[in-house]
């Protein structure tokens, strides 16, 4: 655009100069011509008047010419000559510098008020025209030298008039008037006018150019602003503002270009996409602040750039995720080598705001598979591999394979069906009775969720609970379980009004500790079924408590106030100790079934179970042994002082409606034993 404007400016300047010059020149020229024409016309008029005035003197003068054919001065001195001279003087009173001449038909001057001209012959087209019968004028310009020898330009206006036959031998008369000064004055005036016009033109041109330059400057400025804005927009669209690296959009476009080049055959080898995710960025960001987080993101970008070649690309995909495109790789090992290089780079801690920060990175690697693939699919594959790498622990890499894809697809399908299952209430509870080892009576029943899957039938929790926890759906699921469990407990209690201590155990996922909504939900649920806190026992796993220590202790305090009993599930499988049980005010613990199972074959397991029971009893916790399958196990547990037991020995998890029957059978069995003993 600027170039176009510059060209227009240049063209306008040239055009203006040409037009201006031409117009000034033509004005000047036409005014000079007009002046000359006016002078010629005026001179001709004066010549006419003079001719008429001196016409009566032609005849005496002709006689004088005839009388003195060879002596021009005598002609002038003759009375006729003198009379003619004074007549000429009389008719040209204001003129000092004039020349009047009478010619014969051949152009010879027979009379002139200037003696030196007499008898000279004139050869001029103007004169020829006069001889031809019509008046003619012309401007005569010549140079003369003055007395001091200086050259002077002279301009005379000459008019030739034809004379009638009766004037013979005179055939024509001329009147010459010196207009040097007048024309010089006129020329000067013209010159001044020309100068003024020129100056006005220049002033106009300068003003025009100034305005143009202002317009141009403003235009340039706005164009620069526009360019700047465009550049910024471009940077925003294609570059990450924190790290200055290409962004996700840029990354995708580059990948699309590679796929296109590959399809056109202009790319040789395959290419790889590496997706990376920082393992503890969130912690650093939260503990050291956002600025430190940004600094870390930048430094990570630098390190990643060190691991790739000049044609490769490192982009920030968002958050703490980076994407790398490695072009023209020979085989998979090259991409894996890059992943290893990245891990090597991450060995060294980062210095962030004076802190040594150790960061590890998980990497998913995917290799382009040819034309039937899209950029999006390759990124998705790398993402699946990265999730797998993350599952394997910190600082791992994984190469994508087809099974991973299938797993990911299955996972997505499962996610959707869990959602639908919740909406369609496909989940239901089974109950696993908890038996008082001494009396053999049922003290509680643990709600164990099942999924009545439309295609796969009844599914155990290990098929869906971990995923439900991951995608945040375990809360609504647990709520459904809790609600149903309390509703079922009400029914059982009605069956056994004398059995007021009957409770229900409900498993509680770790997710409930993010925020604190479960307290309200539990309270509402209890209220809705007119139950008290003590009718409910919540089972929590060690690992979930460990992760959420502080939140848990606050929540547990509230729950205890409500009378809800807390039960540590799967005790011994995590890292926690009995001190945790005490600190977090648990009421019960459940020994993990793996110890119970091993107890028969391993002395060590038996010792562990024994110590757990002893310490549990010492701390006043009700100890339950899970997974009791044989009478032998039960006998050992009993001898160790274990209070409650749960397992297939008594029953497999039952449907809600089967529980009253089970309770009744246990009561009957206990009565029978009592009778027998009596």
Residue 481 binds to ligand C2E (criterion: CB under 6 A)? yes
Residue 460 binds to ligand C2E (criterion: CB under 6 A)? yes
272 binds, among Mg ion, ligand C2E, none (CB under 5 to 8 A by kind): none
Residue 569 binds to Mg ion (criterion: CB under 5 A)? yes
Residue 478 binds to Mg ion (criterion: CB under 5 A)? no
Residue 542 binds to Mg ion (criterion: CB under 5 A)? no
Beta strands in 6-150 (DSSP E): 98-103, 109-112, 136-145
Closer Cβ to ligand C2E, 389 or 536, answer by number: 536
Pick the binder of ligand C2E from 569, 584, 587, 616 (CB under 6 A): 569
Residue 355 CB, shortest distance to ligand C2E, in Å, is 38
Task: Give the containing element (helix H, strand E) for 361.
Answer: strand 361-367
Residue 466 binds to ligand C2E (criterion: CB under 6 A)? no
Sheet containing 136-145: give its strands across.
109-112, 98-103, 172-178, 151-162, 136-145
| Span interacting with Mg ion, options 336-344, 411-419, 509-517, 534-542, rule CB under 5 A | 534-542
| Span interacting with ligand C2E, options 94-102, 205-213, 219-227, 624-632, rule CB under 6 A | 624-632
Q: How far apart are CA 302 and CA 472, in angstroms?
A: 35
Residue 604 CB, shortest distance to ligand C2E, in Å, is 21
Torsion of CA 82, 84, 85, 89, to 10 degrees: 130
User: Residue 330 — φ and ψ, nearest 5°?
Assistant: -75, -45
Pick the binder of ligand C2E from 279, 327, 381, 570 (CB under 6 A): 570
Task: Give the containing element (helix H, strand E) for 66.
Answer: helix 58-67
Closer Cβ to ligand C2E, 254 or 475, answer by number: 475
Residue 659: count of CB within 10 angstroms of its CB? 24
Residue 647 binds to ligand C2E (criterion: CB under 6 A)? yes
Q: Contact at 8 Å (CB) between 485 and 538? A: no
Residue 461 binds to ligand C2E (criterion: CB under 6 A)? yes
Residue 444 binds to Mg ion (criterion: CB under 5 A)? no
Pick the binder of ligand C2E from 387, 509, 548, 651 (CB under 6 A): 509
Residue 653 binds to ligand C2E (criterion: CB under 6 A)? yes
| Span interacting with ligand C2E, options 44-52, 188-196, 368-376, 647-655, rule CB under 6 A | 647-655
Radius of gyration of the chain (CA): 61
Residue 483 CB, shortest distance to ligand C2E, in Å, is 11
Q: Contact at 8 Å (CB) between 446 and 432? A: yes
Residue 425 gets the label, from left (phi > 0), alpha (psi -120 to 50) or beta, of: left
Which residue, 389, 407, 409, 410, is CA-closest to 275? 389
Residue 602 CB, shortest distance to Mg ion, in Å, is 19
CB burial class (10 A; 0-12, 13-18, 19+) of residue 243? buried
Residue 625 CB, shortest distance to ligand C2E, in Å, is 10
3-state secondary structure 409-434: HHHHHHHHHHHHHHHCCCEEEEEEEE
Pick the binder of ligand C2E from 162, 293, 323, 627 (CB under 6 A): 627
Pick the binder of ligand C2E from 304, 365, 378, 448 (CB under 6 A): 448
Residue 507 binds to ligand C2E (criterion: CB under 6 A)? yes
Binding pattern for the stretch 610-629 against Mg ion, x by CB under 5 A and - elsewhere: ----------------x---
Closer Cβ to Mg ion, 173 or 645, answer by number: 645
Pick the binder of ligand C2E from 539, 564, 571, 591 (CB under 6 A): 539
Question: Beta strand 565-571 with 588-591: parallel, antiparallel or unpaired?
Answer: parallel
Q: How far apart are CA 404 and CA 354, in angstroms?
A: 41
Please tell me what DSSP assigns to residue 239.
Answer: B
Closer Cβ to ligand C2E, 72 or 433, answer by number: 433
Which residue, 443, 442, 449, is CA-closest to 483? 449
Residue bearing tokens 């000034």: 24
Q: Contact at 8 Å (CB) between 152 and 172? A: no
Residue 433 binds to ligand C2E (criterion: CB under 6 A)? no
Closer Cβ to Mg ion, 277 or 570, answer by number: 570
Binding pattern for the stretch 501-520 against Mg ion, x by CB under 5 A and - elsewhere: ------x-------------
Reading the block at residue 85, the tokens are 């001279």
| Span interacting with ligand C2E, options 190-198, 401-409, 442-450, 669-677, rule CB under 6 A | 442-450
User: Residue 7 — φ and ψ, nearest 5°?
Assistant: -65, -45
Q: Contact at 8 Å (CB) between 104 and 58? A: no
Residue 75: count of CB within 10 angstroms of its CB? 24
Task: Give the containing element (helix H, strand E) for 569.
Answer: strand 565-571
Residue 658 binds to ligand C2E (criterion: CB under 6 A)? no
| Span interacting with ligand C2E, options 86-94, 135-143, 363-371, 446-454, rule CB under 6 A | 446-454
Residue 478 binds to ligand C2E (criterion: CB under 6 A)? yes
Closer Cβ to ligand C2E, 447 or 656, answer by number: 447
Beta strands in 291-437 (DSSP E): 313-318, 321-326, 350-352, 355-357, 361-367, 397-399, 427-436
Residue 629 CB, shortest distance to Mg ion, in Å, is 14
Q: Contact at 8 Å (CB) between 123 and 150? A: no
Binding site for ligand C2E (CB under 6 A): 432, 447-449, 460-462, 465, 474, 478, 481, 507, 509, 539, 569-570, 593, 626-629, 646-648, 653
Binding site for Mg ion (CB under 5 A): 507, 539, 569-570, 626
């Amino acid at each position: 655009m600027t170039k176009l404007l510059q060209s227009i400016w240049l063209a306008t300047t040239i055009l203006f100069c040409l037009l201006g010059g031409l117009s000034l020149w033509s004005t000047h020229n036409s005014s000079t011509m007009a002046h000359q024409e006016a002078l010629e016309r005026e001179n001709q008029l004066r010549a006419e008047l003079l001719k008429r005035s001196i016409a009566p003197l032609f005849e005496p003068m002709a006689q004088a010419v005839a009388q003195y054919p060879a002596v021009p001065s005598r002609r002038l001195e003759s009375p006729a000559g003198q009379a003619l001279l004074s007549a000429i003087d009389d008719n040209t009173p204001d003129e000092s510098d004039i020349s009047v001449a009478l010619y014969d038909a051949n152009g010879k001057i027979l009379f002139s008020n200037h003696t030196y001209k007499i008898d000279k012959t004139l050869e001029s087209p103007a004169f020829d025209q006069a001889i031809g019968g019509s008046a003619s004028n012309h401007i005569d310009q010549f140079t003369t030298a003055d007395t001091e020898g200086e050259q002077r330009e002279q301009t005379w206006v000459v008019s030739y008039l034809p004379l009638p036959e009766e004037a013979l031998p005179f055939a024509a008369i001329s009147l010459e008037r010196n207009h040097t000064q007048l024309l010089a004055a006129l020329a000067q005036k013209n010159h001044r006018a020309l100068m003024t016009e020129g100056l006005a033109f220049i002033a106009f041109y300068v003003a025009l150019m100034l305005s143009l330059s202002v317009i141009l400057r403003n235009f340039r400025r706005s164009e620069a602003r526009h360019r700047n804005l465009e550049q910024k927009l471009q940077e925003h669209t294609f570059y990450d503002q924190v790290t200055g690296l290409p962004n996700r959009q840029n990354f995708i476009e580059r990948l699309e270009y590679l796929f296109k080049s590959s399809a056109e055959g202009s790319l040789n080898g395959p290419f790889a996409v590496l997706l990376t995710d920082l393992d503890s960025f969130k912690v650093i960001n939260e503990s050291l602040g956002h600025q430190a987080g940004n600094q870390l993101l930048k430094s990570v970008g630098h390190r990643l750039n060190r691991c790739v070649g000049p044609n490769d690309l490192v982009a920030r995909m968002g958050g703490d995720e980076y994407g790398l495109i490695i072009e023209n790789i020979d085989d998979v090992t090259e991409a894996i080598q890059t992943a290893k290089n990245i891990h090597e780079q991450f060995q060294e801690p980062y210095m962030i705001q004076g802190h040594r920060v150790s960061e590890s990175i998980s990497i998913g690697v995917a290799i382009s598979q040819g034309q039937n693939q899209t950029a999006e699919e390759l990124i998705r594959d790398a993402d699946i591999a990265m999730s797998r790498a993350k599952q394997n622990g910190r600082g791992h890499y994984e190469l994508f394979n087809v099974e991973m894809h299938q797993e990911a697809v299955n996972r997505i399908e499962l996610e959707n069906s869990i959602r639908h299952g919740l909406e369609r209430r496909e989940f239901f509870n089974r109950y696993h009775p908890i038996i008082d080892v001494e009396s053999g009576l049922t003290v509680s029943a643990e709600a164990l969720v099942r999924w009545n899957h439309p295609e796969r039938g009844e599914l155990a929790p290990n098929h869906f609970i971990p995923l439900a926890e991951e995608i945040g759906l375990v809360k609504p699921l647990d709520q459904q379980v809790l609600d149903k469990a309390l509703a079922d407990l009400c029914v059982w209690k009605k069956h056994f009004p004398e059995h007021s201590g009957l409770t229900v155990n409900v498993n509680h996922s770790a997710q409930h500790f993010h925020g604190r909504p479960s307290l309200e939900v539990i309270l509402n649920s209890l209220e809705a079924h007119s139950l008290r806190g003590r009718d409910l026992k919540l089972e929590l796993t060690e690992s979930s408590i460990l992760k959420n220590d502080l939140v848990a202790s606050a929540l547990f305090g509230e729950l205890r106030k409500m009378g809800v009993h807390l039960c540590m599930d799967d005790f011994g499988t995590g890292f926690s100790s009995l001190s945790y049980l005490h600190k977090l005010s648990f009421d019960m613990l459940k020994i993990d079934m793996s110890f119970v199972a091993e107890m028969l074959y391993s002395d060590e397991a038996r010792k562990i179970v024994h110590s757990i029971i002893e310490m549990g009893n010492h701390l006043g916790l009700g100890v339950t042994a899970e997974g009791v399958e044989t009478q032998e196990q039960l006998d050992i547990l009993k001898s160790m002082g274990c209070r409650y037991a749960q397992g297939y020995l008594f029953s497999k998890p039952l449907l809600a409606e089967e529980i009253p029957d089970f309770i009744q059978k246990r009561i009957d069995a206990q009565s029978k034993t009592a009778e027998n003993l009596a």
